[in-house]
Chains A and B, each alone.
Chain A
């Protein structure tokens, strides 16, 4: 961190919060709230004279509450810059001044009770999201007795108790009697790998952290008994298996099974845990002086704010979604934004460093080039047709359309560098003012007409998104999975590009079944554009029902690029549905839709006449 702060090209802004980020690739503007420290960080020499006179004692968050700090403090010993700050939530008060002892104690006159937060704006070309992690809070898992029993601690608390700079100067003692424990039990997967007891994902780092902790204890306190209760040990990195083996050789017992209950002995404060050893199939009781809960990790609580600020999407676990899991692991769908570390998913230090390096390299390439190459598939607005209703602005997942203002006669504008070409805006425009380059409405109508030109009753029209469903179909084909020949695919960049008029047009031309298919919500390549598809299809189902057409004739399916088997299965199911649609029903549908269209045209014409 010292190197970062001294680097001539890096401006380090600490104790600050990003309030907003606006703009697009190469032209972002970040609004940052620089919180006041009430201490001039440039002048403060960290002499500590102020701390000596501060009467307030509060639990030290950095030491996990095992020791205390004053209201004026340095958050942690390696903090950069090394200067004090006043925690105003705990200070006795400066307005009016209730104590005020620190100010006269400071020889350099660094303390200013009247200083306020500062709002700064910075223009940046790219953004790297590295929001880090939050350890899982094991209190909901009541059977482990965390906070009920003093000697049950988390792996994070273990780190502090074992650290040379910790509250005990590295002497590992148990909290209840401050004696060195003779036996320590580690419980794995606390808050991980269980959807009902925490999170469904593996936190990635806990197994190796426990192995490291067991080795530390064995080396520092020879003869200490250490046992690890686990589901399975995931030691998959370079040198990890060797470390695991070493831990076993040094005497750590590995017992497969997670304890069901922990009880405390009321006199000795020792802990007795009950576990089903799944290797032997027997219920066992084990007694320990201390138990360490190897807690999992979860995304930072502020990730919601970052998500909306940068138009990011998240996986169901809450981590940010990358552009592509294998080929673009540090990029996000919003151009010019990259991510590193836990923001993307649980990973260890080595992987985080690799990802940070990759993100820095991507940023360097981008800024070094000074220009970006964008896809030709973008939207354009016809100013003569635009009514400035603003609907396109609301559906754009990339905030790539500038706001219109009817009163000021300001038309919306497409920021081409930010537009990713999903086409959600074009479908939303009822006035035909937005055209998607290379994927125009006319092209789609022509494709539908071409598909249904011959024997339409034997065909299924499938609108498939380029990234997932179309690729899923490809996979089914290349994997030689058999499916009927009736489905005819029409490629769209995103399922949100499918105008429901295309679907109605297909039905009008005699298609028995029309399918709209896209990515799963969590895989959407255009952040959350797929949500528009769901809304529109639902609306169409209602409309068809009102007209007397079976909504079943329009099907919706989310198929990922890896789901070739699903694609084949769905197509077989749809073929069965197609066979249920009679020629009479098709003819009736045609008649209803043509009549409805005539009615709609008539209404439009009447409206036009009235307005003129």
Chain B
């Protein structure tokens, strides 16, 4: 289990929680406002990364 960042899109609360990709997707609830609009802030590749300059 790794700790991942989550962001509540209702109350703007940012927090870390245990996360396993095996159990994904699972129901997320913001610990502060109990909303389910919780976004997993996954590490995304930057736009254009990997492309060669022409």
Contact = CB atoms under 8 A, between A and B. Distances in A.
Interface in B1-37: 9-10, 25-27, 33, 35-37
Contact of B47 (A531, A546, A552, A554): A546
B40 A538 contact: yes
Interface string A511-553: 0000000001110000000010011001001100010000110
A557 B39 contact: no
B52 interface: no
A508 B44 CA distance: 26
Interface in A570-597: 570, 573, 577
B27 to A, nearest CB: 4
A84 interface: no
A244 interface: no
A31 interface: no
A320 interface: no
Contact of A573 (B10, B40, B44): B10
A153 B19 CA distance: 38
A555 B9 contact: yes
A358 interface: no
Chain B interface size, under 10 / 10 to 19 / 20 to 34 / 35 or more: 10 to 19
Contacts of B10: 552, 555, 573, 577
Given A520-B27, A534-B25, A555 B37 contact: yes
Q: Which of A522, A535, A546, A573 gathers most chain B CB within 10 Å? A: A573
Contacts, number: 38
A552 B10 CA distance: 7
B39 A541 contact: yes
B8 to A, nearest CB: 9
Given A535-B25, A546-B47, A573-B35, A551 B40 contact: no
Given A521-B26, A521-B27, A534-B25, A557 B44 contact: no
Interface of B: 9-10, 25-27, 33, 35-37, 39-40, 44, 47
18 contacts: A521-B26, A521-B27, A531-B25, A534-B25, A535-B25, A538-B25, A538-B39, A541-B9, A541-B39, A546-B47, A551-B9, A552-B10, A554-B9, A555-B35, A555-B37, A558-B27, A573-B33, A577-B10
Interface of A: 520-522, 531, 534-535, 538, 541-542, 546, 551-552, 554-558, 570, 573, 577
Given A541-B9, A555-B37, 14 more contacts: A521-B26, A531-B25, A534-B25, A535-B25, A538-B25, A538-B40, A542-B44, A551-B39, A552-B9, A555-B9, A555-B35, A570-B35, A573-B35, A577-B10
